[in-house]
Chains A and B, each alone.
Chain A
Amino acid sequence: MFTLNSASAPCRRLISKRAVRALATEVPAQAAAPSEASKSKAKVPINAAVILNRSPFLTKTPTPFERAYYAYQARIRRALHNPFPYDFYFKQGSLLETRFNMEERKRERKAFGPDFASEDYSSAESAEAMAAVEMLKQQESEGQEFAPRTNKADTEQDLTSLDRQGQRNLYLLLQEEEGSGRKRWRFPQGDVEKGELLHQAAQRDLHDECGANMDTWVVSRNPIGVHRPAADSASQPTFFFKAHILAGQVQLQSSRISSFAWLTKEEIQKHTDAEYWEGVKDMLSDY
């Protein structure tokens, strides 16, 4: 999950310290003469890519083992807890107190078995109290409904939706058509121009490929990792930056990109080729 060393070593080699320092204090390129401006458009032999992340917005569903563990711990805690001061929190004989007592008895029986705290509601008074509590419950729960933990995007398996897989980290992948007609999935990426900071290049490349209809935040100026293609391939080393999507959605800008998808880590492995996957897998979250 964490990749520090792989990012730092090539960074040092490819961007000399002097070049970075010169950029930090340089006058913006617009002020320069046209001949110099065209010179600054020259490309640097590296790429910048963005790992655009949609964070989980639902808590993880506990596994049966976790649920059993939590129930067991809650049972011990219930057995050992200090007595609850009823008279401090409830007015004596009030409806709220009756409701709390009934619910508490239910919880006790759930924790310690059906024999525990058996209730006796045979008398008319108790039946009346129960009816009143039931009515209060209906009044309070009116118009309240829990949102479901799976939604339409999950059932329809819509990979382009940002609502899918609410419990997982999702990442944006683009499908690019190469010259040979072959299609391959990759993260949004692009060139780095001479005189441009790497993290700014990453943001610009994301904007160029995925449109302006997104609020994004690049987390750090440091690259989080690097992918170096095989020695015989023509492609260049790619530096990755982590970013979050806060609002909006992708609008594809280039004809070379045929589609996009929001994928979990395991799905990325299925979509990408083995060599690319080996380079990027440690930058992705397992959660």
Chain B
Amino acid sequence: MASAVRNRLGSVTRFGRAPPPSKKLRIDKHSGLPRPHVGNLIVRDFAPCRLEEHYHTTLADDLMYLTYKHEHLPRPPPRQIRLTYDSNDPYTKNRYNPPVGGSQAGKKLPPPSSPSNVVQLQRVSVHTFLRDAITNKGSLLPLIAAMRSLAGETLKGGGRHSSQGIQIVRAKKSVGTWKLRPGIPIAVKFDLTGPAMYDFLANVTEFVLPRIRDFRGLQMPAPSASPNSASAVGGVVSFGLPPEALGYFPQIEVNQDSYPKMYGLHIHCITNAEGLGAQNQARALLSGFQLPFLKK
């Protein structure tokens, strides 16, 4: 079958010859360049992804068995907690009406275990705050360059509409002691999804973490830490890398001298896990990608 296809088409990966243009291309008003007759060009995956395949062949099954919670009866309906104000009273009608006893967010149960909600990585978000940028916003430029080579992404770069590229984070508050004013650029961040996210994670676990001096693993919270805290029920695992670790990424290491200094990173691995014990599920997933965790 495969050889038959190859014989008929020549090579499946090589482009033969471009067809002759049938009509004149329109000229773009802004750039003055010819625009091809195609509308919405969207680029999908252009290579198989090793870690993603590992997830689907091995990790998804194991994580379902590991995180499965057996519930033999349907769940009772949620307890009706009285609201603070009478919602029918015209005086308090459109007012924010919290339940008595505070937010129940940290006590929410995870959805029932099923093959469709096995924990999965959704997004990796990386950000760096630069204190120098408060006084001199030009100092963000080398940081942006480093982040670009780290992410390999620009705004809608390579025809990927979801790519936001490197985003500049502006201060929200005014903090007198740090001379922080609202609206000034102080940090840089980028989000990765799909194969780029898995490749970034592979770079971290294979090139960066093994070369950090005295690195033993990512610290887990103490056993006494509250299981109801926002971080414990959020399904996000966050960790930081020191400035010298940036130089261990292969795309930075190749010309590290071009950057005036190295910067630390905050990395957030965002999963679809939610409810009580979500962070434990997220850690189980990430340890499947060879990210080591350390008990406190």
Contacts and interface: CB of A to CB of B under 8 A. Distances in A.
B159 interface: yes
A124 B43 CA distance: 41
Nearest to B155: A82
B47 A67 contact: no
B81 interface: no
Contact of B15 (A55, A59, A77, A113): A113
Interface residues of A, number: 44
A245 B150 CA distance: 36
Given A60-B53, A70-B46, A110 B15 contact: yes
A282 to B, nearest CB: 11
A93 interface: no
Given A59-B48, A70-B45, A81-B157, A224 B18 contact: no
A48 B6 CA distance: 49
B36 to A, nearest CB: 9
Interface bracket on B: 35 or more
B65 A224 contact: yes
Contacts of A67: 12-13
A4 B13 CA distance: 42
Interface string B29-48: 00000000000010111111
A71 B12 contact: yes
Given A4-B68, A70-B47, A73-B46, A89 B254 contact: yes
A167 to B, nearest CB: 9
Contact of A2 (B17, B41, B115, B258): B115
A9 to B, nearest CB: 8
A70 B48 contact: yes
Interface in A187-224: 219-220, 222, 224
Interface string A78-91: 00111000001100
Contacts of A73: 43-46
B61 A12 contact: no
Given A56-B57, A70-B45, A77-B159, A242 B12 contact: no
Interface in B49-64: 50, 53, 56-58, 61-62, 64
Interface of B: 2, 5-6, 12-18, 41, 43-48, 50, 53, 56-58, 61-62, 64-66, 68, 70, 72, 113-115, 145, 154, 157-159, 254-255, 258
14 contacts: A1-B61, A4-B113, A64-B12, A71-B15, A73-B46, A76-B43, A80-B41, A80-B159, A81-B157, A110-B15, A112-B15, A113-B17, A220-B66, A287-B56
